[in-house]
Homo-oligomer: A and B are copies of this chain.
Amino acid sequence: MSLAALIIGNEVLSAKVTEANGALLIRRCREVGVPVVSVHLVPDDIDAIVEALQLAKRRARWVITSGGVGPTHDDVTVRAVALALGRPVVRLPEMIDLMRAAYEGQEPPAAAMRLTEAPEGSTLLRDEALRYPVLVCEGVHMLPGVPELFALQLEVLLRGLEGTPVTLRTLYLHASESDIAAVLDVVALSRPDVAIGSYPTFDPTHDYRVKLTVEHRDAAQVAQVIERLTRELPAGSILRQGDR
């Protein structure tokens, strides 16, 4: 039930725009309980997209791409996804109808007709909130990179995925990572199903030195591990608990 994202665009890798779609996707997936296993920023380059997509598909059940679906020369996502999936690029009849409707009966210009292209076998995820539907092929959802459009399409497709929100609890410690590593090792090894994270800080304005996070879809499992850590960590090292 996991998801991987490809954020496509030279503008992101060259600091011309600050990437925001990946951060939004991570936050929203967290909120609806869909685990994100990879977010990959790649340039407008067919080979780079093909390789990144093949890796993403091996790692996750669903893939979301952002960007590269417009009508200009640097929009290569549809061709790259088709190549990665071994499918030809075709014009989708439903998209042709939508485009003709947008041009109110006149024949759309050739550049606009590029927006009707998709890997053969693609389906369209429709919603009344969307002017254009989400393009999907073999679990790969091809979203526009323009932030306003990306956000709209993301909400529509997240409604179709079934997630289970995760419970997170936190321990703030005034011990160093080296002091707690042995206990963490034992607990983490005995509970591989529970995600335990250890994050040191060197920011002198923080009152703690290490933040521990414990996560699981079942709150009772989280409570068990928190209880065990509270018992086994060096005496006096826990400053306080938190839930974020």
A interface with B by C-beta (< 8 Å)? 9-19, 22-23, 26-27, 29-30, 35-44, 48, 51-52, 55, 58-59, 70-74, 108-112, 114, 146, 148-149, 166, 168, 177-182, 184-185, 188-189, 195-203, 213, 215
CB atoms of B38 and A213 under 8 A apart? no
Contact of A146 among B22, B109, B200, B215 (CB under 8 A): B200
Partner of A51, one of B10, B36, B55, B200: B55
Residues on B with C-beta less than 8 A from A12 are 26
Name the contact of A13 in the complex, choosing from B18, B36, B108, B149 (C-beta under 8 A). B36
Q: How many monomers of this protein are in the complex?
A: 2
Return 20 A-B CB contacts under 8 Å, by A number.
A9-B197, A10-B195, A13-B35, A14-B36, A15-B27, A37-B43, A44-B197, A70-B177, A71-B177, A71-B178, A72-B177, A72-B180, A72-B181, A73-B184, A74-B188, A109-B179, A110-B182, A111-B177, A111-B181, A148-B203
Q: Evaluate contact between B13 and A39: CB separation under 8 angstroms.
A: yes
**Inter-chain contacts of A55 with B (CB < 8 A):** 51-52, 55
Alpha-carbon separation in the docked complex, A108 to B177 (Å): 13
- Beyond A70-B198, A73-B198, A74-B188, 13 additional contacts (C-beta under 8 Å) are A10-B197, A11-B197, A13-B36, A14-B195, A16-B213, A18-B23, A48-B59, A51-B55, A51-B59, A71-B181, A73-B184, A74-B198, A109-B179
